[in-house]
């Protein structure tokens, strides 16, 4: 597999246009751009795609051939991007259904051995890929955010991404309220800049 380009793909998982998640994604990508990355923002609400059906065709074909939908458009961008940003509001202690479906569709990047239990590896690993993850919660503490950050972090790590920053934002619900939180926006931009910085 060819090495990815020096660019970052930002994935927004909010079904609400112009909300806090969109703003946070914009500022993370702003920081990444300052660090020298080419950036692109994708909002999953603009794509029609299904969740993984478990057809397992990708084990043989090495790509998702069981479904032809909006994810088919996104796979080339994922492959060609050195860095990934995932931002999701917290819905019912977890990420949004759109973001969960997106992550599940990354299953096609795994290779499996015919052992019991099956050994596996990721075709995205070992390429210096990095990621930033973020979630926004209306409630006031991390416990009420539930599994949201875990649901973003663990699959990316399994795929071979190094998580360079995690952002947890609390006590925000009103559309665009995060624009009045300069410290959060600065944290987002710093997270984006870390994508191009050496890991200490």
What is the structure's pLDDT at 1? Answer: 60
Mean pLDDT of 144-155: 97
Could you tell me if 178 and 172 are in contact, meaning their C-beta atoms sit under 8 angstroms apart? yes
Distance CA 132, CA 2 (A): 22
Which helix (H) or strand (E) segment is 24 a member of? helix 20-34
Complete edge-to-edge strand list for the sheet that includes strand 5-12: 38-43, 5-12, 81-89, 130-136, 162-169
Distance CA 147, CA 150 (A): 5
The residue that leads in pLDDT, 135 or 176, is 135
The SS3 of residue 84 is strand
Is residue 11's pLDDT more than 90? yes
- Tell me the per-residue pLDDT of 101-112, one tens digit each, with 9 for 90 and over: 999 999 999 999
* pLDDT bracket for residue 196 (50, 70, 90): confident
When the pLDDT of each residue in the chain is averaged and rounded to a whole number, the result is: 95
What is the structure's pLDDT at 199? Answer: 52
What is the structure's pLDDT at 133? Answer: 98
Mean pLDDT of 140-157: 96
Could you tell me if 20 and 177 are in contact, meaning their C-beta atoms sit under 8 angstroms apart? yes
Is residue 87's pLDDT more than 80? yes
- Residue ranges of the alpha helices (H) in 38-163? 57-61, 70-80, 97-104, 142-145, 148-159
Could you tell me if 157 and 163 are in contact, meaning their C-beta atoms sit under 8 angstroms apart? yes
The SS3 of residue 135 is strand
| The CATH number of domain 5-194 is 3.30.930.10 | no
DSSP state letter for 52: P
What is the structure's pLDDT at 118? Answer: 85
The SS3 of residue 58 is helix
- Tell me the per-residue pLDDT of 15-38, one tens digit each, with 9 for 90 and over: 999 999 999 999 999 999 999 899
Could you tell me if 147 and 93 are in contact, meaning their C-beta atoms sit under 8 angstroms apart? yes
Picking from 50, 151, 134, the residue whose alpha carbon sits closest to that of residue 88 is 134
* pLDDT bracket for residue 188 (50, 70, 90): very high
């Amino acid at each position: 597999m060819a090495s990815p380009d020096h660019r970052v793909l930002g994935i927004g998982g909010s079904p609400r246009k112009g909300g806090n998640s969109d703003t946070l994604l914009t500022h993370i990508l702003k920081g990444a751009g300052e660090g020298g990355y080419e950036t692109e923002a994708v909002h999953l609400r603009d794509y029609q795609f299904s969740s993984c059906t478990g057809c397992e065709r990708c084990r043989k074909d090495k790509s998702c051939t069981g479904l032809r939908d909006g994810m088919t458009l996104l796979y080339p961008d994922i492959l060609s991007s050195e860095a990934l940003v995932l931002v999701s509001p917290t819905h019912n202690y977890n990420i949004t259904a759109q973001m969960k479906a997106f992550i599940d569709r990354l299953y096609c990047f795994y290779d499996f051995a015919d052992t019991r239990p099956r050994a596996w590896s990721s075709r995205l690993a070992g390429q210096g890929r990095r990621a930033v993850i973020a979630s926004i919660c209306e409630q006031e503490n991390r416990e009420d955010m539930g599994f949201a950050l875990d649901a973003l972090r663990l699959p990316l790590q399994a795929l071979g991404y190094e998580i360079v920053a995690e952002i947890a934002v609390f006590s925000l619900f009103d559309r665009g309220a995060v624009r009045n939180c300069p410290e959060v926006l600065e944290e987002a931009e710093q997270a984006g800049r870390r994508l191009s910085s050496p890991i200490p």
